[in-house]
Structure 1
Amino acid sequence: MTAADKADRKLTVRLCGPRGFCAGVDRAIQIVILALKKYGAPVYVRHEIVHNRYVVEGLQERGAVFIEELSEIPEEHRDAPVVFSAHGVPKSVPADAVSRNLFYLDATCPLVSKVHKQAMRHHRLGRHVLLIGHAGHPEVIGTMGQLPEGTVTLVETVEGAMALNPPADAELGFVSQTTLSVEDTADILKALEERFPALHAPAAESICYATTNRQEAVKMAAPGADLFLIVGAPNSSNSRRLVEVAERAGAKRSLLVQRASEIPWDEIGDLTVLGLSAGASAPEIIVNEIIDAFAERYDVTVDLAVTAEETENFPVMRVLRDVELTSADMAFVNGNA
């Protein structure tokens, strides 16, 4: 495309902030890289450390080996570290690691761990726990796995809340998955509170700051957007929620893409305003890749839609703090390489 052709195709890109990596994702990636530097390859990781193919492949190139079950670790590598993903795991997983004499590093996001503690507090106080979340998501599996079977009921929708049949005469307490849509969760909670006025709330908000911040920025940028792109993986809950939020907030169309190569150029039609954000596990380098792809086809102006500044930092566990990261390591950790 010639410069003259591009000049006739002006495009405003509304770039959301905050976007991309959150403090929990940053910490989880650091833990894997630090473990590789301290202990050498292989370092095993149970489940994707975060839901992003680019990150997973980058860690594989450095010597990480991704598994779904601890039984997949070969006998000759039983002295290698195993890292639990940022989504959290049921209590049975570290117990299994101990029974196998494995050295494990728990990269569960501190905000997910907070939800675990909230659920356990409800249980300790004699309450049946209602977990608002999506069945099958690793975070939900991990949270339900903190408590004995039968003491937690998953609530996925308003309809599910209305049909709920908890144990008779049980006190109820609720927690939620950290990556849900704020609006959807509010609707489900309203239905639960109407049915169960004595429902006990957790001591603090369950949906994490990064989820809320990214959704607020998308709401700001969405009105009038011809297309809204969210960078993220299909199995990333917080990324999929951003797609929904964009359409609800006024974008004509919203799509989830993992790389610029997934943009359906022949289908997106004429654009004058593009919204762009990234889920909490998507690196900034892919956001830049997408902006560059549009700049090859349009005369692009980037406008920032910033609703918050994030300064949170979650330190890694003490056993890894004596390892230094190079500038190249930090670029990857920050999503810029």
Structure 2
Amino acid sequence: MEMLEKIDQQWLKSFHCVYENNSFKRAAEFLSLPTSNVSRHIALLEEQLDVRLFDRTTRRICATDAGEHLYLRTQPLLDKLNDALEEVTQHSREVMGQLNVVMPDSPELAKAVVSFCAQYPAISLNCETNLSHKEDLLDGFDVIVSFHRGKLEDSNWIAKEIKRWPSVVVASPKLLHTRQRPFKITDLKHVPCISSFTALKGTPWVFRNSEGEQITQRVKSAFKVNSGQLAKAGALAGFGFAILPVEFCHEEIESGDLEVIELEYEPEDLVLYAFYASRKHVAKKIPAFIEHLKRQANNETSG
């Protein structure tokens, strides 16, 4: 029992998936995890067992004798464990119980949450709208909803995309009369910009090139906010250049209150994700809530 206590179930899950797919990348896609997470799970399992489980080359991977043995001996056990858990947790098929959520305070999300609770009256909701969450404070939550641009950081949470918004760099005519118009993303270093300090963790502005590769650019900002409304208001007031979703500022662009700034790279889309813990068995309330958010977000029309 001592060895079993040292092994995380997720490590074994990743090991089995890599073995069955002969690929870290395909295993990661199947598990909805970053490839680096799957690689780390295998490395931790190998370290704990003190044996190499896969031989890796630039072209392929294959199981070692130890890896083959581990898979053949553990696969039937995991299947039986899965069957037993499925039998015991049949009650979780019903959408019920307490749902603990962290999400931005937005009218659209509020509507979606209310309609979900109306549809499933057996749900008891606990919703926190503080975006400055830390990893070690999130264990008590079922779902975390947050905005991101570009690649996600590695974590133990599974990410599901809710909606994405193509975005543009904008500025007010007032600002463009006093500041030189940027034409390259490096020009942004020399002009005031409006940035986020919580929802996007204050990271550099994120762009993508024609091949879809991520490009980052640090900017200087004296107007840092955690609200799209505030960012747009600041841009309209001439406080700085801003990256905004097209859907959110198209009226101001058409009226001439904001101008689109064309650069050599396009901003990465703003993406709303729902994160939940990577457990084998997930209570029905969690995927039901995430799917409801996705349907509501993509059925809503702007305006």
TM-score (norm 2): 0.27
- State the structure with more CA Rg: 2
Quick check: which one's strand share is greater?
Answer: 2
Structure with more relative contact order (C-alpha pairs < 8 Å, separation 6 or more): 1
